Amino acid sequence: MKKIFMFLSLAALTFSALADEGMWIPMLLGRNEADMQKAGMRITAKDIYDINKACLKDAILLFNQGCTGEYVSGEGLFLTNHHCGYSYITMHSTVEHDYLTNGFWAMSRDQEIPCPGLTATRLVRMEDVTAQVLDGVGPETSEGERATIVERNIKRITERAVEGTHYKAIIKPFYYGNQYFMYINEVFTDVRLVGAPPSNIGKFGGDTDNWMWPRHTGDFSMFRVYAGADNKPASYSKDNRPYKPLKFLEISLDGVNEGDFTFVFGYPGTTQRYVTSDAVELAANIENPIRIDLRTIRLKHYNHAMNQSPAQRLKYASKVASIANGWKKWQGETQGINRLKGVEQKREFESRYQEWAKDKPQYYNVLPQMHEAYDRLRPIEVELTYYSEAVRASDLMQRAQAYRQLAQEDDEVSAVGAVNKLKEANDKYFKDFEQHTVVDRAIFVETMLYMWQAGYAPYLNTKTGDRASVQKQLEKIYDESLLNNEKKLRSFLDSYTVKSGKKLMKDPAVALFDQAYTLAYDPQKLATYRRAYADIQRLMRTYVKGMMEMQPDVNFFPDANLTLRVAYGHVEGFRPRDGVYYKPYSTLEGIMQKENPDIYDYVVEPKLKELYALRDYGRYGITTTTVDSTVIENGNETITNYTTHTSKTMPVGFIATNHTTGGNSGSPVLNADGRLIGLNFDRVWEGTMSDLLFDPDYCRNITLDIRYCLFIIDKFAGAGHLVDEMTLVSSK
Ligand code: ARG
Ligand code: GLU
């Protein structure tokens, strides 16, 4: 009995989309409408996506190529995460005007700062173009021919679709090329920074709290899109006017309760829901541990340096943020996969697939062939992982790559250009060389040593072949390289001609990089890798098609591919481990509990503390009233006295069961009426395996409560004029 039960529950996980799992295509949302309404939604699928009238879709934008934003005013004002706007906030920061540390608020339109290179893309409409894309592809068409035909068709279809318009068209494959959708987009390029909280609000908790719940990060920033006089995209001009979006989001001040329906509307980047057991094994148990170990080494040294001085903290901050982001996520992912027995689950599903495919020759061979392709791919994939996480870890090796390139340059004019670039880079690099080289040397030696020990750096051959001698060799390379000698390097570059290339290649660091590169990027090896990868993609197409035939009643969702999607679920806490229950929301009290003036990540702004002390939350806080009664007996009379207590709290974040991934950062989290209640910005650590496997008990997205965001803008920053542009709705 127990066995059968196990089998059924595993089957449920691998077979079909679970409750709350899925990132759905807006155009096809009609298929989910009944389910969404049953879950509490009070609007219709057409309110979310409709090509005949303005709808919620028109309020959503793709922020560059990796985050989501949403319009909150009729004047082009939009919200996204602080970590999405990060590089633009940094770009405009100087020591005198450190917007990153202190925050930035445009108090009038003319203070808004242009952000060259930043784009805000609106989806105009989408279309299923599968038939047109596959026009000319038949059962006999070879893979090579198929690729050529598809490419040609895509070019023709997209060109025709936007002819005579200012739109851009893009076609993306779904389900590994079983389906194709075309996206017609409008790309705005005059985007200006309007507001950002100080780092100790926008990044409160830093990397310590990253990927974790309970969370207290005020992860938002604000921008405004400007357009030409015709409201169409225009490149920056001071004559441009605020863009008038077809739709902007109304904001609900009602907040959320546990169990409430929510949905997330944005641009998830990548998921791999349908891959085989081999792929899950490779990612979770082979690649992730390598990456984690090598990044642990780097983080140890950077973190140590960052604690030495504010200057070093600034120097490494953004590098460490990105190294640590993956490092932490992969740990959660691997643990989650193993807790779920993800590999076994997949194997079990695969054996049922084989059983089903027994009499279907087109499907029967797919899995064995894919298994064989993974055997070809795996060793090279592992080698490339070492290459990217160890060889590319130190500045010395990254610089060596540039010098190797210079050494191979045989055109004198190009060489001069390259030399000038390197000189410029060196001016910066050698500024704080004394401090930095301690960090970089340790990272170089330890990462390369780790790679050597794993057997992936055979070129580090010493006579005795023991660890201590390899370490010595690496230290010697670091200390003797010309690249680490400012004076000698300068005079070498000053007199550089293409004839100097030979000498440069003999530099120990350049020579080492050359060996590592030549081994990793051996052309034959790369060809094998590419072939294996292409085979897997082609086989996945058939495998997934079979999966759908095998389960005709299941509404499959396509893997995330940075196209607009809807995920829905409800507000819910979870039990991360034995004996612990996490409530679904956090408050300003939690910020005060975490406060520690000695730890960078937990410094609280005096102004925020002041507002907290006064409970001065304006209309954004929650007031709870409790009534106490005391009964007094007086002879045969009883008197009841009532005293009321009111307490005020400021909500900060909440979690829900929406299926999200990287790219969903900044996505609006909406309530049953389609009103904005928060900004998505993270997932809980215990649920990060959801890119591969979704588990409703553990997978939660983390949302910044919109009320905290408005409170910071209005009460903390005194930028109430920005809130005045918005439409706030309260049922109370
Ligand atoms: N984990 C979030 C995401 O994947 C936030 C990352 C930025 N924040 C940070 N502390 N590094 O984008
Ligand atoms: N922080 C992520 C982003 O930048 C979102 C978190 C996730 O991966 O779900 O998109």
Place of tokens 């194997």: 347
| Best probe residue, ligand 2, of 683, 685, 689 (max atoms within 8 Å of C-beta) | 683
Q: What is the mean pLDDT of residues 357-377?
A: 97
Kindly report the protein residue whose alpha carbon is nearest to atom 3 of ligand 1: 682
Total-model pTM? 0.92
Kindly give the distance from the C-alpha atom of residue 419 to the centroid of ligand 1, in angstroms, as a whole number. Answer: 36
User: How far is 198 from 204, CA to CA, in rounded Å?
Assistant: 9
Would you state the pLDDT for residue 2? 37
Q: In this predicted structure, which of 509-513, 576-580, 728-732 has the lowest mean pLDDT?
A: 728-732
Atom number in ligand 1 closest to CA 683: 1
Mean per-residue pLDDT of the chain: 95
Kindly give the distance from the C-alpha atom of residue 660 to the centroid of ligand 2, in angstroms, as a whole number. Answer: 8
| Tokens (6 digits) for 234 | 């225009």
Phi, psi at 598, each rounded to 5°: -90, -15
Q: How many CB atoms lie within 10 A of CB 629?
A: 8
Q: Which ligand is nearest to the CA of 318?
A: 1
Secondary structure (3-state) at 457 = coil
Q: Give the whole-number percent of the chain exceeding pLDDT 90.
A: 88
User: How far is 496 from 485, CA to CA, in rounded Å?
Assistant: 16
Kindly give the distance from the C-alpha atom of residue 366 to the centroid of ligand 2, in angstroms, as a whole number. Answer: 33
User: Which residues contact residue 728 at a Cβ distance below 8 angstroms, ignoring those fewer than 6 apart?
Assistant: 250, 251, 253, 619, 710
Q: Helices 366-386 and 523-550: crossing angle, nearest 10°?
A: 140
Q: In this predicted structure, which of 128-137, 299-308, 459-468, 628-637 has the lowest mean pLDDT?
A: 628-637
Kindly give the distance from the C-alpha atom of residue 658 to the centroid of ligand 2, in angstroms, as a whole number. Answer: 13
Would you state the pLDDT for residue 644? 86
Query: C-alpha distances in angstroms, 94 versus 103, 127, 427?
Result: 12, 46, 19
Instruction: Express each pLDDT in 556-568 by its tens digit.
Output: 999 999 999 999 9
Kindly report the protein residue whose alpha carbon is nearest to atom 10 of ligand 1: 207
Instruction: Express each pLDDT in 386-434 by its tens digit.
Output: 999 999 999 999 999 999 999 999 999 999 999 999 999 999 999 989 9
Give one DSSP letter per residue of 574-603, joined into a string: B--STT--B-SEEEHHHHHHH--TTSGGG-
| Best probe residue, ligand 1, of 80, 90, 100, 210 (max atoms within 8 Å of C-beta) | 210
User: How far is 221 from 340, CA to CA, in rounded Å?
Assistant: 36
Kindly give the distance from the C-alpha atom of residue 506 to the centroid of ligand 2, in angstroms, as a whole number. Answer: 44
Instruction: Express each pLDDT in 30-61 by its tens digit.
Output: 999 999 999 999 999 999 999 999 999 999 99
User: How far is 487 from 478, CA to CA, in rounded Å?
Assistant: 16
Instruction: Express each pLDDT in 471-491 by its tens digit.
Output: 999 999 999 999 999 999 999
Which is nearest to 572 in space by CA: 228, 257, 225, 115?
257
Which is nearest to 403 in space by CA: 551, 516, 537, 514?
514
In whole angstroms, how large is the CA radius of gyration of the chain? 28
Kindly give the distance from the C-alpha atom of residue 209 to the centroid of ligand 1, in angstroms, as a whole number. Answer: 9
Secondary structure (3-state) at 85 = helix
Atom number in ligand 2 closest to CA 269: 10
Contact 102, 198 (CB under 8 A): yes
Q: Which ligand is nearest to the CA of 82?
A: 1
Higher pLDDT, 641 or 611: 611
Contact 668, 317 (CB under 8 A): no
User: How far is 63 from 42, CA to CA, in rounded Å?
Assistant: 28
Would you state the pLDDT for residue 310? 78
Q: Which ligand is nearest to the CA of 209?
A: 1
Cα 678 off chain centre by: 17
Q: Which ligand is nearest to the CA of 84?
A: 2
Instruction: Express each pLDDT in 85-131 by its tens digit.
Output: 988 998 887 778 888 889 999 999 999 999 999 999 999 999 999 99
- pLDDT of 465 above 90: no
User: How far is 489 from 402, CA to CA, in rounded Å?
Assistant: 14
User: How far is 547 from 542, CA to CA, in rounded Å?
Assistant: 9
User: How far is 78 from 223, CA to CA, in rounded Å?
Assistant: 5
User: How far is 161 from 184, CA to CA, in rounded Å?
Assistant: 8
Would you state the pLDDT for residue 637? 83
Kindly report the protein residue whose alpha carbon is nearest to atom 1 of ligand 2: 682
CATH class of 48-119+189-269+567-732: mainly beta
Kindly report the protein residue whose alpha carbon is nearest to atom 2 of ligand 2: 662
The residue extents of the domains of the chain are 48-119+189-269+567-732, 277-523
- Strands 251-252, 728-729: pairing kind: parallel
Secondary structure (3-state) at 693 = coil
Higher pLDDT, 11 or 339: 339
Atom number in ligand 2 closest to CA 329: 8
Give one DSSP letter per residue of 467-502, joined into a string: HHHHHHHHHHHHHH-GGG-HHHHHHHHHT--GGGHH
> Which protein residues touch ligand 1 with a CB less than 6 Å away?
83, 206-207, 210-211, 321, 324-325, 662, 665, 682
Length of the chain: 732
| Best probe residue, ligand 1, of 63, 67, 83, 690 (max atoms within 8 Å of C-beta) | 83
Q: Which ligand is nearest to the CA of 271?
A: 2
Contact 641, 46 (CB under 8 A): no
pLDDT band (50, 70, 90) for residue 18: low
Would you state the pLDDT for residue 12? 41
Instruction: Express each pLDDT in 241-283 by its tens digit.
Output: 999 999 999 999 999 999 999 999 999 999 999 999 999 999 9
- DSSP annotation of 121: E
- pLDDT of 223 above 50: yes
User: How far is 504 from 328, CA to CA, in rounded Å?
Assistant: 38
- pLDDT of 189 above 50: yes
Single-letter residue type at 565 = R
| Best probe residue, ligand 2, of 67, 267, 661 (max atoms within 8 Å of C-beta) | 661
User: How far is 179 from 181, CA to CA, in rounded Å?
Assistant: 7
User: How far is 590 from 611, CA to CA, in rounded Å?
Assistant: 14
83 is catalytic: yes
Kindly report the protein residue whose alpha carbon is nearest to atom 8 of ligand 2: 662
Kindly report the protein residue whose alpha carbon is nearest to atom 10 of ligand 2: 662
User: How far is 294 from 453, CA to CA, in rounded Å?
Assistant: 12
- pLDDT of 235 above 60: yes
Please name the helix (run of DSSP H) or strand (run of DSSP E) that holds residue 138, with its range, or none.
Answer: none
Q: Which residues pair with 649 in a beta bridge?
A: 622
User: How far is 18 from 569, CA to CA, in rounded Å?
Assistant: 11
Kindly report the protein residue whose alpha carbon is nearest to atom 2 of ligand 1: 682
User: Which residues contact residue 204 at a Cβ distance below 8 angstroms, ignoring those fewer than 6 apart?
Assistant: 216, 217, 218, 591, 594, 601, 602, 604
Give one DSSP letter per residue of 662-674, joined into a string: TT-TT-EEE-TTS
User: How far is 63 from 118, CA to CA, in rounded Å?
Assistant: 8
User: How far is 370 from 376, CA to CA, in rounded Å?
Assistant: 10
| Tokens (6 digits) for 576 | 């991360």
User: How far is 330 from 486, CA to CA, in rounded Å?
Assistant: 38
User: How far is 289 from 280, CA to CA, in rounded Å?
Assistant: 13
Atom number in ligand 2 closest to CA 81: 4
User: How far is 728 from 730, CA to CA, in rounded Å?
Assistant: 7
Higher pLDDT, 629 or 665: 665
Contact 718, 607 (CB under 8 A): no
Q: What is the mean pLDDT of residues 149-170?
A: 98
Kindly give the distance from the C-alpha atom of residue 323 to the centroid of ligand 1, in angstroms, as a whole number. Answer: 10
Phi, psi at 95, each rounded to 5°: -60, -40
Single out the catalytic residue among 199, 394, 586, 665: 665
Give one DSSP letter per residue of 353-415, joined into a string: HHHHHTT-HHHHTHHHHHHHHHHHHHHHHHHHHHIIIIITTSHHHHHHHHHHHHHT---HHHH
Residue 435, exposed/middle/buried by CB under 10 A (0-12, 13-18, 19+)?
middle
Would you state the pLDDT for residue 9? 40
Single out the catalytic residue among 20, 58, 83, 209: 83
> Which protein residues touch ligand 2 with a CB less than 6 Å away?
660-665, 681-683
Would you state the pLDDT for residue 13? 41
Query: C-alpha distances in angstroms, 83 versus 94, 201, 565, 679, 694?
Result: 18, 12, 21, 12, 25
Query: C-alpha distances in angstroms, 553 versus 15, 17, 556?
Result: 11, 11, 9
Kindly give the distance from the C-alpha atom of residue 84 to the centroid of ligand 1, in angstroms, as a whole number. Answer: 9
Q: Which ligand is nearest to the CA of 333?
A: 2
User: How far is 699 from 657, CA to CA, in rounded Å?
Assistant: 6
Secondary structure (3-state) at 629 = strand
Cis bond before residue 214 (omega within 30° of 0): yes
Single out the catalytic residue among 20, 219, 507, 695: 219
Kindly give the distance from the C-alpha atom of residue 196 to the centroid of ligand 2, in angstroms, as a whole number. Answer: 19
Phi, psi at 101, each rounded to 5°: -75, -45
Secondary structure (3-state) at 71 = strand
Kindly give the distance from the C-alpha atom of residue 302 to the centroid of ligand 1, in angstroms, as a whole number. Answer: 18
